[in-house]
Amino acid sequence: MTTLPEIPLPTSIRSRYVDNINGLRMHVLEAGFETKGRPCVLLLHGFPELAYSWRKVMPVLAAAGYHVIAPDQRGYGRTTGWDPSYEGGLGAFRLPNLVRDAIGLVAAFGYRSVDAVIGHDFGSSVAAWCALIRPDVFQSVVLMSAPFGGPPALPLDTVDAPVRPAAPDPIHRELAALPRPRKHYQWYYSTREANNDMHRAPQGVHDFLRAYYHHKSADWKDNKPYPLKSWTADEIAKLPTYYVMDLAKNMAATVAEEMPSAAEIAANQWLPDSELAFYSAEYARTGFQGGLQWYRCGTSGAFTPELQTWSGRTIDVPSAFISGKQDWGTYQRPGVYEAMQTKACTNMIGCHLVDSAGHWVQQEQPVEVSRLLVQFLQEARTKT
């Protein structure tokens, strides 16, 4: 690990390793470490990102008085101790174990509780489950770019009419049968081929990530999201191809069609090539399979019974949602954005769609996101 290049970080952020975190040697970015006794916030990244995705937010939170911790999560970056193979056991990547990773990390830093857990993209799911399972540890939560609709329900009143095994979701067959045949990206990400498609992309990892980040950002002018009516093939096929892909294309080919021009790349201020180069070097080294295992846990259905342990539970700590106004992720699963606000979270004190931001909201609009986070932390403290 000592041979890895330095991370291009602001001087107020340091990189370090923490051993023996639920079987991991966890790589962590840290800000606000200069003085002891600060309240702590934990930042959890999504796919295909790293702790590095929080580099623009961390100094602001530290300046507001917080000790800020952002790990490379299990399966990502410079954190080690996870199995990188497709054949490896999925159990280590299930949501309750990712919550255990988070608890272990904050405990290692000496905290019995943190003021907030803040998660983006798939990290939003982990943050939600942190707040649901251990509200005593995670005293507030911010979900970013991926709303949370609550835990899966247990079948009810089945004593005299036993529930039948769930039939396979017909959505995949129906998507494939559309005049323009399609497939859902989460199920594609669960295939054996997905990692190689991206890790060995014909355009290279750097250009693959450039096109992927561009396609899902506000820079791609066709990102004009709106609520979808139902989980049906005709309806979700309205999603861009990075979510509902053309059936015959892999993700590298999908985003290559939207590769920005050299002039657009040169003009990009939220992710200049010098910063993208860190992401591409890390993913060229590790591949994508660690992050893809998270999707496989969800699409397999194997871990739904465990999650039903918390059926009927709500997130009762202070919560907020932040997403880009140009982010389809808010609406990709019809009804979840609304369910989060009306059912899943009982103490939601902010729901913000940030203009001129797509999916990578804390990178595209870090000033506004940082302002909203500091405001939330101040308000949440008065409610706990």
Query: Which of 261, 291, 321 is a domain's end point?
Result: 291
Domain ranges, residue 244: 171-291
Does 230 map to a domain? yes
Query: Which of 258, 291, 324 is a domain's end point?
Result: 291
Q: Say whether both 218 and 136 belong to one domain.
A: no
Give the pLDDT mean for 181-187.
Answer: 98
Over residues 198-207, the pLDDT tens digits come to 999 999 999 9
Report how far residue 234's alpha carbon sits from residue 337's, in angstroms, rounded to the nearest whole number.
20
Over residues 335-373, the pLDDT tens digits come to 999 999 999 999 999 999 999 999 999 999 999 999 999
Q: Say whether both 28 and 129 belong to one domain.
A: yes
Return the percentage of the chain with pLDDT > 90, whole number: 94
pLDDT, averaged across the chain: 96
pLDDT band at 90 (very low <50, low <70, confident <90, very high): very high
Q: Say whether both 191 and 277 belong to one domain.
A: yes
Over residues 106-139, the pLDDT tens digits come to 999 999 999 999 999 999 999 999 999 999 999 9
Over residues 167-181, the pLDDT tens digits come to 789 999 999 999 999
Q: Say whether both 238 and 359 belong to one domain.
A: no
Does 142 map to a domain? yes
Q: Say whether both 287 and 308 belong to one domain.
A: no
Q: Specify the pLDDT at position 164.
A: 79
Q: Say whether both 29 and 148 belong to one domain.
A: yes
Q: Which residues of 273-307 are buried (b: 16+ CB within 10 A; e: fewer)?
A: eeebebbbebbeebbbbbbbbbbbbbeeeebeeeb
pLDDT score of 70 more than 60: yes
Does 8 map to a domain? no
Q: Specify the pLDDT at position 166.
A: 76
Query: Which of 268, 291, 314 is a domain's end point?
Result: 291
Q: Say whether both 192 and 147 belong to one domain.
A: no
Weakest mean pLDDT among 21-35, 126-140, 147-161, 305-319: 147-161
Does 299 map to a domain? no
Does 54 map to a domain? yes
Does 164 map to a domain? no
pLDDT score of 1 more than 50: no
Does 78 map to a domain? yes
Q: Say whether both 273 and 327 belong to one domain.
A: no
Over residues 212-270, the pLDDT tens digits come to 999 999 999 999 999 999 999 999 999 999 999 999 999 999 999 999 999 999 999 99
Q: Say whether both 94 and 47 belong to one domain.
A: yes
Give the pLDDT mean for 332-336.
Answer: 97
Does 1 map to a domain? no
Instruction: Give the count of domains, the chain.
Output: 2
Q: Say whether both 115 and 54 belong to one domain.
A: yes
pLDDT band at 2 (very low <50, low <70, confident <90, very high): low
At 101, which CATH number? 3.40.50.1820
Cβ neighbours of residue 98 under 8 Å, at least 6 residues apart?
Answer: 73, 74, 126, 129, 294
* pTM score, whole prediction: 0.97
Q: Say whether both 260 and 308 belong to one domain.
A: no
Q: Say whether both 177 and 223 belong to one domain.
A: yes
